[in-house]
Structure 1
């Protein structure tokens, strides 16, 4: 009987729950606008989780929990907002984009490139949602342009946040993998001796 499977699965579920909670809390705590780990987490989940449903669940659960918490803190109830479907759709797309990293070698340059793509995707999809659903801008070419121009300052924070958190997540994974490889190498050398 293999007794190591259950503890690992139990540990993984706790780790996933902690990731969701930590990401949600970072959106509630004071931070520069759009400087959150959610884009990086969605990319990381898509790239590293074998189960696609779980890969989608992690960032969406963090987003849903944080929307709820923000709604409670702000006194707006659950935390629904007009462009919400576009935000959630952007995170689904980001997670699916992370699957590309699953099929290729995860080099630092590729990860940084994907991080920039994630930031851009989020910027375009969510601002399109604001323009369409919020009523803040007229549905004209001028309104479309104004919406995107007004969002440019937030884009810098999105890029910075995604780069920082992608570095933490993928760098942490690479570090843990290097420790695992070292342990396996030491174990195999000891077994040969």
Structure 2
């Protein structure tokens, strides 16, 4: 059930106006969590739900025409993020694995999506030059979004995987080990 609630939070974080939340979105963290905690047969649901959200945002919020081909990379990444969560966090969830997932998820999206944008937009008259400088300019333009995605994913992963452990420790009366000041 928590994976579905987190997916709902991801969907809402995309459709509700969130400019005051510094571009926060729970998408990456929720996909990692879904992959770690749900079965393989359930993996299509988050991809389909997020794809429907992409359609809604494109046609109703931004008033653009919708072309499936424009979203294949993004939808492929949704599935890949679920697989990444399954690989890194399903069998054994450690702090190191959670940190790795929180970094690899947004980084892979940044690299894949910006490269795809450059491929489409480096034609004559496009936004970016058809050379290495144009590719670097495209990646540079995506850096603010990458930063927000890293922060959002790190927060969601830390809460989704860390909060249950903290609650369990609190309920069992376990105290966190005291740190030495030496």
TM range (shorter): 0.7 to 0.9
TM-score, scaled relative to structure 1: 0.72
Aligned-partner Cα distance in 1 for 2:77–2:24: 16
TM-score, scaled relative to structure 2: 0.75
Match of 1:140 in 2: 131
Aligned 8 A contact 1:21 1:62 in 2: no
Q: Secondary structure at the match of 2:130?
A: coil
- Cα RMSD, aligned residues only: 2.7
Match of 2:41 in 1: 53
Verify: 1:98 aligned to 2:85, yes or no: yes
Report the CA distance shift for 1:81/1:156 in structure 2 as closer, same or farther (over 3 A): farther
2:95 to 105, 108, 111: 108
* Greater fraction of residues in helix: 1
Larger radius of gyration: 1
1:128 to 115, 140, 144: 115
Q: CA deviation at 1:80?
A: 4.1
Where structure 1 has 5 or more consecutive residues not aligned to the other structure, the ranges are 1-11, 183-193
Aligned-partner Cα distance in 1 for 2:53–2:164: 25
Aligned-partner Cα distance in 1 for 2:112–2:75: 10
Q: CA deviation at 1:170?
A: 1.7
Verify: 1:42 aligned to 2:31, yes or no: yes
Q: CA deviation at 1:62?
A: 3.3
Aligned residue pairs total 164
